[in-house]
């Protein structure tokens, strides 16, 4: 709730003023058990930082993180350890996140050792996990570089599943993969979710990737959530001009359903020096004076459909 993560910027000597990059600036959401909540936005919008704060890999500057009713925001490393196995992370680049000097068996075994699983049980568990993700025992003694990108991501997923987590935060797990492989991995994640009743926070920079796996989708821009809705609400009736622009860039197979293309002007401003008011006003085709002066409230416009835009009602019609 109300998560903020500011990173200090190195300032020139003798400057007293402290400056911060507001990587995440007041983001609030709840993830329901068993659902997939996707967080989408362009690079630098703060989505990965949000994921890392949720995982307690980074401490929040402000805000609370509640896990199953327990406020875990201020827990020390020792206190958080028993909870650590409940949430696991799958990373974007399975090559960078898998230690190249370890065999697949050692990689998957690592979390089992950390969480004190007996040695006698570990070998069987590793084979079981390999099979669960579509690999097999013959892969166990090989090294990450011997595998394709898709297979490496399967190894990363096996490792994340090793200690039976409840929540998996997947940070762009398919962005580095070919489109045909992407859908295999997405299907695998979906199957695993049903099988193990997993909850996912799925981070992506592309709305088309998350359409089929999401129950709800949040869109982030410059450290803030600008829209949050269930999948059909977001894809069928987007309210925020930024969401509309992202959606209009997604190719649709049926040309009669074509959405009007919204081309955004300019680049994303630096999070170190975000625009006033609605931070999207420098690129929004509908911006007016009010947008520069006032931060739009993140408000509920339809049931469970939240948006941060002064003119959401007008633009809907």
Binding site for Mg ion (CB under 5 A): 48
Q: Does 241 bind ligand SF4 (CB under 6 A)?
A: yes
Q: How far apart are CA 222 and CA 313, in angstroms?
A: 23
**Phi, psi of 180, deg, nearest 5:** -65, -35
Using the structure block, give the residue that is written with the tokens 């958080």.
80
Q: How far apart are CA 226 and CA 177, in angstroms?
A: 28
Which stretch, 10-18, 118-126, 179-187, 306-314, contacts ligand SF4 (CB under 6 A)? 306-314
Q: Retrieve residue 175's tokens.
A: 């962005």
For every residue of 62-84, DSSP letters joined together read B---EETTEE-TT--HHHHHHHH
Q: How far apart are CA 265 and CA 198, in angstroms?
A: 39
Question: Would you say 46 or 296 has its CB closer to Mg ion?
Answer: 46
Which stretch, 64-72, 117-125, 185-193, 276-284, contacts ligand SF4 (CB under 6 A)? 276-284
48 binds, among ligand SF4, Mg ion, none (CB under 5 to 8 A by kind): Mg ion
Q: Does 311 bind ligand SF4 (CB under 6 A)?
A: yes
Minimum Å distance from CB 162 to Mg ion?
A: 24
Question: Would you say 42 or 106 has its CB closer to Mg ion?
Answer: 42
DSSP 255: G
198 binds, among Mg ion, ligand SF4, none (CB under 5 to 8 A by kind): none
Q: Rule CB under 6 A: choose which of 280, 289, 298, 301 binds ligand SF4.
A: 280
Q: Which has the closest alpha carbon to 22: 297, 235, 279, 299? A: 279
Half-sphere exposure of 35 (CA within 13 A, CB side): 13
Minimum Å distance from CB 32 to Mg ion?
A: 24
Question: Would you say 48 or 214 has its CB closer to Mg ion?
Answer: 48
Which residues of this chain interact with ligand SF4, rule CB under 6 A? 240-241, 278, 280-281, 284, 286-287, 291, 296, 309-311
């Amino acid at each position: 709730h109300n998560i903020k993560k500011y990173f200090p910027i190195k300032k020139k000597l003798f400057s007293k003023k402290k400056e911060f990059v507001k990587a995440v600036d007041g983001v609030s959401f709840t993830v329901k058990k068993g659902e997939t909540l996707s967080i989408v936005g362009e690079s630098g919008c703060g989505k990965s930082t949000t994921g890392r704060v949720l995982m307690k890999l980074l401490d929040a500057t402000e805000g609370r993180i509640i896990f199953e009713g327990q406020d875990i925001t201020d827990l020390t490393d020792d206190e958080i350890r028993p909870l650590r196995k409940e949430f696991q992370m799958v990373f974007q680049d399975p090559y960078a996140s898998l230690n190249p000097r370890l065999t697949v068996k050692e990689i998957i075994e690592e979390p089992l050792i950390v969480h004190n699983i007996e040695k006698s049980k570990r070998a069987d568990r590793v084979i079981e996990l390999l099979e669960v993700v579509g690999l097999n025992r013959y892969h166990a003694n090989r090294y990450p570089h011997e595998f394709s990108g898709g297979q490496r991501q399967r190894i990363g997923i096996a490792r994340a599943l090793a200690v039976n987590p409840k929540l998996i935060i997947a940070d762009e797990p398919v962005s580095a993969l070919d489109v045909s492989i992407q859908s295999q991995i997405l299907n695998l994640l979906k199957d695993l979710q049903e099988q193990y009743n997993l909850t996912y926070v799925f981070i992506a920079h592309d709305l088309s990737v998350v359409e089929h796996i999401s129950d709800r989708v949040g869109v982030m821009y410059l450290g803030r959530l600008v829209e949050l809705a269930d999948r059909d609400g977001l894809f069928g009736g987007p309210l925020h001009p930024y969401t509309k622009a992202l959606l209009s860039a997604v190719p649709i197979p049926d040309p009669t359903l074509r959405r009007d293309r919204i081309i955004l002007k300019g680049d994303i401003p630096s999070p170190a020096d975000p625009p006033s008011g609605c931070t999207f006003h420098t690129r929004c085709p509908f911006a007016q004076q009010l947008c520069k002066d006032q931060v739009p409230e993140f408000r509920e416009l339809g049931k469970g459909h939240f948006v941060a835009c002064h003119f959401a009602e007008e633009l809907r019609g």
